[in-house]
Amino acid sequence: MSSEKIEEILREFDFASVHHTMLKTKWTWASSDFRAKIPDLETIRKSARKLLEYVCVPGQDNVSFGGFRATKDLDGHIELLFVVAEYCSEEGEDEEGREEKRHQCSFISPVENLEV
């Protein structure tokens, strides 16, 4: 079942928009020869597949790399995002157990609408 979900995401996800965003923003990844370069479409797709395969492993539910985030919820639904910008902070306790309140906000750009 997981492989079917992965294949559906890889078929439907707009990798061309991700690549376009990377080109326009000069977003680079480290290559195998340790040089920063903008990945080609095939490299982007392969990296996304690896992330999706990773979250399908029992006990794994979230992984990020190079702007991509793959997640799995409690029902086993998987999701792939390409995140351009994000900020998130939660209410909770600090290291000494004191209650903290922090603001929450996030921004995930729809890459197909990005104009640079």
Residue 100 has pLDDT above 90, yes or no: no
> What six digits make up the tokens of 71?
């997640």
Looking at residue 94, its pLDDT comes to 56
Q: Domain extents for the chain?
A: 2-84
Sheet with 78-82: strands ordered across: 62-65, 68-72, 78-82
Q: pLDDT averaged over the chain?
A: 81
Considering the entire predicted model, what is its pTM?
0.73
42-94 pLDDT, tens digit per residue, is: 999 999 999 999 999 999 999 999 999 999 999 989 999 999 987 776 665 55
Contact between residue 90 and residue 83 where contact means Cβ atoms under 8 Å apart: no
Q: Residue 60 in 3-state DSSP? A: coil
